[in-house]
């Protein structure tokens, strides 16, 4: 082996130059980023969330009905972006959960209700997780999280592999029977960017659903989060949902 | 220059040859990336910017409820003061965006059939207590709801005679219980005005154990089969309805 013959001064010069060259790729890639959408909506200024008051829900299913109409969800009883579940807890501890047509046609009386201990409705939708498992598993990057915390699907890049449907712990996704791409609730993103609230919140006759910005100091959602004891679905999965429930029963899994 | 030449002589031949395929692969990667990655990728984040445009270009069908006020102010004014003040127009009349653009061409429908109101008001034990509910089988069968009730100002057409017209949930529960023959007013003294302005005049509720004791005390002048307790000591510090639900007392 040859002994490396190098002056101390020369060594330091080369070291500085080679370290500086590491930053070259960063200089080449353009830093220009315009986070503001066309129309002036700034996604970084918002962080959307929904609150749901279980004690107010009457199970009329107007939310599920409005969602289907607003978003052209197929009118078949398997495709829902939001739906209402009815929980019936019986005296022996047995629990049944049903959601006939997602609650769109309302609920019928349960014939066993004499043995009922308690019962309630739970509206469900995509939880718009802060750490979404669906985004992690998507092989084409077709589903992604925007700066305001909403999970969207790029239907042109979705190949319909259904990995995300498997990965979602809340069963919030479905494969559209015609387009063969995955669809899900996106908080009516097309309404949000124009300053409107989701259609389900708009039509809820009992104000069970509360919608707002978590970044604002005063919004209906911030008020909801101040005034209620809240819980999220499946907190042990660390998905950190942004759909919050007040008055959630322990049987809701 | 000399120095670079010297480095070039030091690098072995086989490494120089290997450099050719390496440079080719890198070049191929750069060219492929240029064609495969959409030009607007990364504008907002790690995704196609036009995917956002695709999503937000979706047509809006439900407008905001304030828009209805511009033309239908008379109905909105009436609804404002009624029990349905928080029910938006579109909850019953359906999506109205097309109607606002062409009011005559796109008329909205009003649900007039009897099946619609029960979506909210049919008695279901799962519904929250106090929400007004009816049992449509026995509530003026086959009569359209709107023939007696105005959906924009839903009042009872006449003062209800029976409590269960509004308190169907409790009436239904009580009908299954041993307290079925006890009238509501036996325990709840109710001002007559409650039937007309239910939220301004509330019925009374029992305060002491004495009321239950009128039948359940050991020395009460009531039929023998009624279960008896020592009203003074039974249940210690609790009043009766903290352990028993008077509308559906448990049976052992």
> Does A69 contact B176 at a Cβ distance shorter than 8 Å?
no
In this predicted model, what pLDDT tens digit does every residue of B82-96 receive, in sequence order? 889 999 999 999 999
Q: From CA A24, how far away is CA A149, in angstroms rounded?
A: 32
**Is B99 found in the same domain as B18?**
no
**Is B120 found in the same domain as B194?**
yes
Note the residue count of chain A: 253
Instruction: Answer whether residue B252 shows pLDDT above 70.
Output: no
Preferred mutation among A55, A106, A123, A143 to probe B, highest tally of B CBs within 10 A: A106
**Is B187 found in the same domain as B134?**
yes
CA distance A84 to chain B (A): 12
Mean pLDDT of A177-198: 94
Closest CA to A243 of A52, A45, A43: A52
- Identify the pLDDT of residue A33: 56
- Identify the pLDDT of residue A32: 55
C-beta separation of A157 from A141 below 8 A: yes
Q: Which helix (H) or strand (E) holds A115?
A: none
- Identify the pLDDT of residue A58: 95
Q: From CA A59, how far away is CA A76, in angstroms rounded?
A: 19
**Whether B26 contacts chain A with CB within 8 A:** no
Collapsed DSSP state (helix, strand, coil) of residue A54: helix
**Is B89 found in the same domain as B160?**
no
- Identify the pLDDT of residue B174: 87
**Is B185 found in the same domain as B142?**
yes
**Is B43 found in the same domain as B105?**
no
C-beta separation of B105 from B96 below 8 A: no
Domain extents in chain A: 50-137+186-246
**Is B130 found in the same domain as B82?**
no
Residues 139-198, chain B, touching A (beta carbon < 8 A)? 176
Q: From CA B98, how far away is CA B208, in angstroms rounded?
A: 60
Alpha helices in A85-228 (DSSP H): 133-137, 163-167, 189-192, 199-203, 220-227
Instruction: Answer whether residue B128 shows pLDDT above 60.
Output: yes
In this predicted model, what pLDDT tens digit does every residue of A114-158 receive, in sequence order? 788 899 999 999 999 999 999 999 999 899 999 999 999 999 999
In this predicted model, what pLDDT tens digit does every residue of A31-46 receive, in sequence order? 555 567 877 888 989 9
Instruction: Answer whether residue A207 shows pLDDT above 90.
Output: yes
Cβ neighbour number for residue B67 with a 10 Å cutoff = 15
Residue that is written with structure tokens 């009905």 in the block:
A65
Chain B partners within 8 Å of A152 (Cβ): 47, 51-52, 55
Q: From CA A36, how far away is CA B176, in angstroms rounded?
A: 62
Supply φ then ψ for residue B29, to 5 degrees: -60, -45
pLDDT band at B192 (very low <50, low <70, confident <90, very high): confident
**Is B67 found in the same domain as B13?**
no
CA distance B137 to chain A (A): 12
Q: From CA A206, how far away is CA B16, in angstroms rounded?
A: 75
Residue ending a domain, choose from B41, B75, B110: B110
Q: From CA A232, how far away is CA A166, in angstroms rounded?
A: 20
**Is B129 found in the same domain as B177?**
yes
Chain B partners within 8 Å of A109 (Cβ): 123-125
**Is B121 found in the same domain as B101?**
no
Q: From CA B36, how far away is CA B30, in angstroms rounded?
A: 10
Alpha helices in chain B (DSSP H): 2-10, 13-36, 49-56, 66-69, 73-80, 89-93, 97-101, 118-121, 168-175, 184-187, 210-216
Instruction: Answer whether residue A172 shows pLDDT above 70.
Output: yes
Q: From CA B182, how far away is CA A61, in angstroms rounded?
A: 36
Closest CA to A147 of A29, A22, A40, A46: A46
C-beta separation of A46 from A148 below 8 A: yes
**Whether B119 contacts chain A with CB within 8 A:** yes
pTM of the predicted model, to two decimals?
0.80
Q: Are strands A48-53 and A243-246 parallel, antiparallel or unpaired?
A: parallel
Query: Is 3.30.70.20 the CATH number for A50-137+186-246?
Result: yes
In this predicted model, what pLDDT tens digit does every residue of B202-233 receive, in sequence order? 899 888 888 999 999 998 888 888 989 998 88
Mean pLDDT of A171-183: 95
Cβ neighbour number for residue B206 with a 10 Å cutoff = 16
- Identify the pLDDT of residue B196: 80
Compute the radius of gyration of chain A from its Cα atoms. 24
> Does A58 contact B120 at a Cβ distance shorter than 8 Å?
yes
Q: From CA B110, how far away is CA B72, in angstroms rounded?
A: 14
Closest CA to A132 of A92, A90, A68, A182: A182
Supply φ then ψ for residue A209, to 5 degrees: -95, 130
Instruction: Answer whether residue B34 shows pLDDT above 70.
Output: yes
Chain B partners within 8 Å of A146 (Cβ): 44-45, 52
**Whether B94 contacts chain A with CB within 8 A:** yes
**Whether B60 contacts chain A with CB within 8 A:** yes
Burial class (CB in 10 A: 0-12, 13-18, 19+), A146: buried
Q: From CA A130, how far away is CA A150, in angstroms rounded?
A: 9
**Is B66 found in the same domain as B13?**
no
**Whether A90 contacts chain B with CB within 8 A:** no
Q: Print the domain residue range for B67.
A: 62-110
**Whether A144 contacts chain B with CB within 8 A:** yes
Query: How many domains does one find in chain B?
Result: 4
**Is B171 found in the same domain as B124?**
yes
In this predicted model, what pLDDT tens digit does every residue of A50-99 receive, in sequence order? 999 999 999 999 999 999 999 999 998 889 999 999 999 998 999 999 99
**Whether B80 contacts chain A with CB within 8 A:** no
């Amino acid at each position: 082996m040859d002994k490396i013959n190098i002056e101390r001064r020369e060594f330091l010069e080369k070291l500085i130059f080679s370290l500086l060259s590491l930053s070259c790729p960063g200089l080449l890639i353009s830093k220009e980023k315009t986070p503001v959408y066309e129309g002036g909506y700034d996604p970084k200024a918002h962080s959307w969330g929904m609150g749901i008051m279980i004690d107010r829900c009457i199970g009329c299913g107007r939310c599920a009905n409005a969602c289907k109409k607003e978003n052209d969800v197929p009118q078949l009883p398997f495709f829902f972006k939001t739906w209402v579940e009815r929980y019936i807890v019986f005296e022996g501890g047995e629990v049944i959960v049903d959601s006939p047509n997602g609650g769109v046609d309302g609920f019928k009386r349960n014939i066993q209700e004499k043995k009922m201990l308690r019962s309630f409705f739970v509206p469900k939708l995509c939880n718009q997780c802060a750490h979404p498992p669906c985004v992690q598993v998507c092989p084409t990057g077709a589903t992604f999280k925007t700066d305001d915390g909403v999970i969207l699907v790029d239907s042109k890049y979705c190949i319909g592999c259904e990995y995300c449907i498997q990965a979602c712990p809340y069963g919030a996704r479905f494969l559209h029977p015609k387009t063969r791409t995955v669809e899900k609730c996106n908080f009516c993103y097309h309404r949000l960017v124009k300053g409107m609230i989701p259609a389900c919140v708009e039509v809820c006759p009992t104000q069970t659903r509360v919608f707002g910005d978590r970044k604002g100091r005063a919004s209906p959602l911030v008020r909801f989060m101040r005034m209620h004891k809240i819980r999220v679905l499946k907190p042990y999965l660390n998905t950190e949902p942004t759909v919050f429930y007040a008055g959630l029963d322990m049987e809701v899994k | 220059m000399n120095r670079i030449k010297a480095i070039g002589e030091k690098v072995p031949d086989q490494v120089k040859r290997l450099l050719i395929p390496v440079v080719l692969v890198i070049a191929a990667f750069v060219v492929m990336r240029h064609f495969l990655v959409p030009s607007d990728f990364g504008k907002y984040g790690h995704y196609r910017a036009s995917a956002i445009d695709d999503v937000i270009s979706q047509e809006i069908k439900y407008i905001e409820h304030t828009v209805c006020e511009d033309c239908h102010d008379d109905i909105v004014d009436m609804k404002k003061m009624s029990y349905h003040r928080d029910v938006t127009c579109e909850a019953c009349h359906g999506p109205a965006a097309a109607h606002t653009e062409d009011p005559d061409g796109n008329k909205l429908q009003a649900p007039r059939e009897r099946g619609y109101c029960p979506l909210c008001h049919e008695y279901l034990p799962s519904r929250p207590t106090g929400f007004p509910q009816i049992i449509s089988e026995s509530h003026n069968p086959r009569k359209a709801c709107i023939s007696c009730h105005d959906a924009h100002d839903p009042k009872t057409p006449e003062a209800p005679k029976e409590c269960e017209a509004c308190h169907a949930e409790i009436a239904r529960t009580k009908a299954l219980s041993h307290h079925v023959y006890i009238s509501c007013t036996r325990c709840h003294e109710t001002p007559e005005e409650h039937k007309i302005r239910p939220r301004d005049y509330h019925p009374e509720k029992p305060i002491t154990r004495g009321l239950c004791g009128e039948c359940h005390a050991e020395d009460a002048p009531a039929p023998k089969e009624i279960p008896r307790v020592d009203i003074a000591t039974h249940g210690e510090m609790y009043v009766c309805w903290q352990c028993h639900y008077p509308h559906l007392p448990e049976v052992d």
